[in-house]
Amino acid sequence: MINIYSNSNTPSFTGGITRKLGRTYCSCEQDIVDIFNKHPQKNGIAGQLPKSWIEKLNASEFVNNKREVIQNIYQQFASIVKTASDNVVEAADKLTNVLRNYKILTEKQSYNIRKINTSGYSHIENGYILEGTNGAESLFVKEFKDLSNIEPRLYKYKTKRDGKYIELARALQLNNQLKDRHIMHTNWGDTQNRFMVSEYVKPLKRYKSKIEIKESYNNEKELIEDLNKKYGFRYYEIKNNNVKLGFEYEDKFYSYPEDRIIYNYFFSLLEKLNLKHIDLMDNPANYIVSKDKDGNPLLKLIDFGGISK
């Protein structure tokens, strides 16, 4: 499924589909389907397992059989997602046992699975938070609705900018070409079984920052300092991406509204790839304020539907 250099302790993935989707803009679902059809042995999968899982495999007795083990984990995981729709406890036990068997989890580590409310989302069937215990990496699974039986013209409309193929392709492209910490990392997607697996971006509960973005500042740098404290935007990220934050007038720097600043940040990133996000401003659920590894606020884009040229 993927090519791994066995003499390296760092995972190196050179699968044709993952590499192709990471480098290429696909204008429609059919472009992506055509790529998968050229690689039927991939079983509709693109991306890679979490790095922390691969590192555990590299340090185990399974190191010389990683390809077969990884293929088996993909297959088992698809079965686990199906089980989770009816019984999250059983699914969590299955996941824990599979990963313990391959030494990815220790006997003290396990997974709990929590099903979240996805009502109101036109393309999402279910969402699952995979909560790792005792240091196991937490993940998020987005399960897409089965649209295969709807009328062809409606199907084409619904999958133009959203769905299991387009969102996976956009996520892999953005992760590969932008490598920005404000964009959620996607691990892999299984298009045959209609789900994607990503890092779990845990929202801060009832987030209300003590930092109030003021209407005006003495200079732009002061505004960036507040944006860093509230959303994690760093000076070099703003400057290197040419993000428009406001304007100067009579020795003061006047800030744009916060939602416009957030929009401008991702607009500037996507513009590098000649892309745009058509509903970023209209749907605040597209991004979440979480925490970085040091416990500081960090805003992240978590949805890849609606991105196009």
pLDDT digits (tens, 9 = 90+) for 202-228: 998 766 788 999 999 999 999 999 999
The pLDDT value recorded for residue 227 is 98
Task: Give the residue with greater pLDDT, 283 vs 170.
Answer: 170
Predicted pLDDT of residue 15? 64
Q: Is the pLDDT assigned to residue 163 strictly greater than 90?
A: yes
Exposure string (b/e) for 116-135, b if CB count within 10 Å is 16 or more?
eeeeebebbebbbbbbbeee
Residue 13 has pLDDT above 70, yes or no: no
With bands split at pLDDT 50, 70 and 90, how would you rate the model's confidence at 17? very high
Q: Tokens representing 292? A: 């970085």
Q: Supply the pLDDT for residue 1.
A: 30
Distance CA 70, CA 56 (A): 12
The confidence band for 184, taking pLDDT boundaries of 50, 70 and 90, is: very high
How does the average pLDDT of the chain come out, rounded?
92
* pLDDT at 265 exceeding the cut of 90: yes
Cα separation, 9 vs 51, whole angstroms: 11
Decide if pLDDT at 5 tops 50.
no
β 186-190/246-249 pair status: unpaired
Predicted model pTM:
0.91
